[in-house]
Amino acid sequence: KSLKELSGLVRPNEFAGQHAIVIGGSRGLGELLAKLLAAGGARVTITWRHGQSDAAAIAQEAAALGLDIRVSEFDVASPPSTDAPTEAPYTNLYYCATPHITAGAPGKFNAAVFAKFLEFYVSGFVRTIDWIASRSVPDLRIWYPSSIFVEHANPNFAEYAAAKSCGETVCDLV
């Protein structure tokens, strides 16, 4: 949905005071979050690894409505060593980085697919937390989306569910 359509779902100042970074904010759930946050008055930085044009379109759509969404390239496998994005200090981290989610074969566990998911949902998440530590307020709020497959197993998504579950364990530690 467009930012204009989504803006009716939140109060104009519902997220005022938030300086949010949405890792993986150029598409999917991250895009939706970024738009809702901006519509609610947050300053938002969205990141992209693939999807630069998508991120730019979101920022342009926000600017046309007088809202603040900035964009920055960010790879959870290798966060930048520079201060980019330079919009610190962040108050909120929304972690939506994800690879393409593919179904596996029921009754078979594919270690390579599991490793790919772990790279995003665990290792990439930890690297992102380490990266943002010096760029955020001390009481940074972190939002890490779960999956219904963590609580309700689906044999076609065992690798995905296992990796998301590991990510949730990391959440308990931070």
CA distances from 117 to 76, 154, 168 (A): 12, 16, 13
The closest alpha carbon to 74, from 16, 11, 30, belongs to 30
Block residue for tokens 């946050």? 37
Instruction: Check residue 13 and give its pLDDT.
Output: 94
Cβ partners under 8 Å of residue 19, min gap 6: 42, 43, 87, 89, 90, 91, 92
Span 17-69, pLDDT tens digits:
999 999 999 999 999 999 999 999 999 999 999 989 999 999 999 999 999 89
pLDDT surpassing 70 at residue 86:
no
The Cα–Cα gap between 140 and 129 comes to: 10
Supply the pLDDT for residue 106: 83
The span from the CA of 25 to the CA of 33, in Å, is 8
At 147-174, the pLDDT tens digits run 889 899 899 999 999 999 999 999 999 8
